[in-house]
Structure 1
């Protein structure tokens, strides 16, 4: 039995409707509950784009945007992020950070990105870097690369870490981040394939509640606490289902923060 991506269930989540949104959804409180260490929350897209004014009106502080191409057969309108959309987020005073995911668990022609090995990591990092720059992303901001399933330690050591090392060869480890569960984030930190935030003690780890089994990674800069699944609609903005992320560090990888330039081109 394969491990399904949480994205697999979006077609079911759409059936749940806005009425089943978690507490804090628009129409319930008009805003969101603050749970991050910094008091900030951002969203990431699971269904389709939300306009910046709607994100801001819902009480959020920014969004993670995809610097990856759209895989064949997918219908998302948020891959890759456009310069116009990124500019509109920033003009609205919203923070922006970059993430990458092209493949998907179980897809024959575009399986999970981490299965592509070192050379695949090189290619994916080059694509991410190109799309990040095209959207206006600065050369100092990290990019979070997704491990969107609950892989075990053997798969990490034999497969996924090689992909990250390929990414490192292009971006440098200092600009490489990971999205994943608690174990995957911890392994990335231990193997030094992700970089350090300018916030002391934090690394470019975006931890999802999925597959974390209640564990938390103290060094994570982001925690995805509301997730669109078959049983959870996530947060609903104007009928669009989005994931919600607590910001845990002052520097969580946002574009509009001055950092020393590093990495490779």
Structure 2
């Protein structure tokens, strides 16, 4: 673990080593940032490339690019009953527009949510994991997602170890039975991410030491799991809205590894077919 640095508004300028600058430059190259026009960090101020996530509607690719972001984490799940999210699921035409603009795409699945019209996905156990994985993969591939790319499956609440062991872990085992471990990722707070890695239900990035872990700042205190490939630094809420892109408030995610599961790096099929 390492401590999360202060927010940009309160952080002091820091000197960054040549090694760190090169590391971020490599990450940007892997994310197609040269075509996006994202600035490579200098020794005066290093910042990782960032992806945004959102659900309300599809933000035009050129507006994402103009805002300086390298791509998106987008849903491969449907809208919940009684809701209509324009960005769920990602469509082939929208994905094509993002790719044409030099942006990258990472897939994530979330249908239910605490307090909504559908319960949290993980509460449906092993059988639910099988069904969710099949839905996610069908939507992922229909939109042009890479055959070897992971899908990040969401636990959008603070659960304890008992709930993980008896409810969420069987859900992930169901997902694994369809996609295989290597195509499975997790989204959640730091403890959920650690449990997923320890129990072997998430795959590995090609970046050494990194796993398919998308960690949110929520429920994480000041800790960032060293295995994470993405870190949700800004979680947009009514009381603390995120930045606006294309008129929509978005969540913002730091890219912590050159291989964060983006489609363009995972076009080939890994060993084991989707079942």
Give the TM-score band, short-chain normalised: 0.7 to 0.9
Structure 2 length-normalised TM: 0.81
- Match in the other structure for 1:239: 247
Matches of 1:134 and 1:118 in 2, distance apart? 24
- Match in the other structure for 2:124: 116
For residue 100 of structure 1, the aligned residue among 95, 99, 109 is 109
Q: Secondary structure at the match of 1:256?
A: helix
For residue 251 of structure 1, the aligned residue among 259, 263, 267 is 259
How many residues align? The count is: 235
- Deviation by residue 1:38-68 (Cα, 9 ceiling, x = unmatched): 8311100143321100000000000011100
Structure 1 residues 206 and 263: alpha-carbon distance in aligned structure 2, compared to 1, 3 A threshold: farther
Structure 1 residues 76 and 192: alpha-carbon distance in aligned structure 2, compared to 1, 3 A threshold: same
For residue 223 of structure 1, the aligned residue among 214, 227, 231 is 231
Structure 1 residues 249 and 37: alpha-carbon distance in aligned structure 2, compared to 1, 3 A threshold: farther
How many Å apart are 1:254 and its aligned residue? 0.1
1:1-265 aligned within 5 A: 39-107=48-116, 110-258=118-266, 261-265=270-274
Q: Secondary structure at the match of 2:264?
A: coil
Give the CA RMSD over aligned residues.
Answer: 2.1
- Deviation by residue 1:146-184 (Cα, 9 ceiling, x = unmatched): 000011111001100000000000000111000000010
Matches of 1:115 and 1:76 in 2, distance apart? 22
Matches of 1:263 and 1:226 in 2, distance apart? 36
Structure 1 residues 32 and 187: alpha-carbon distance in aligned structure 2, compared to 1, 3 A threshold: farther
Range moving further from structure 2, 128-137 or 234-243: 234-243
Alpha-carbon contact 1:173-1:193 (below 8 Å) kept: yes
Matches of 1:48 and 1:239 in 2, distance apart? 10
Matches of 2:129 and 2:123 in 1, distance apart? 9
Matches of 2:201 and 2:68 in 1, distance apart? 34
Q: Secondary structure at the match of 1:220?
A: coil
Specify every segment of 5 or more residues in structure 1 that has no aligned partner in the other structure, as ranges: 1-21, 24-30
Alpha-carbon contact 2:64-2:246 (below 8 Å) kept: no
Structure 1 length-normalised TM: 0.84
Structure 1 residues 105 and 32: alpha-carbon distance in aligned structure 2, compared to 1, 3 A threshold: farther
Matches of 1:218 and 1:153 in 2, distance apart? 20
Structure 1 residues 37 and 113: alpha-carbon distance in aligned structure 2, compared to 1, 3 A threshold: farther
How many Å apart are 1:262 and its aligned residue? 3.0
Q: Secondary structure at the match of 2:250?
A: strand
Structure 1 residues 232 and 46: alpha-carbon distance in aligned structure 2, compared to 1, 3 A threshold: farther
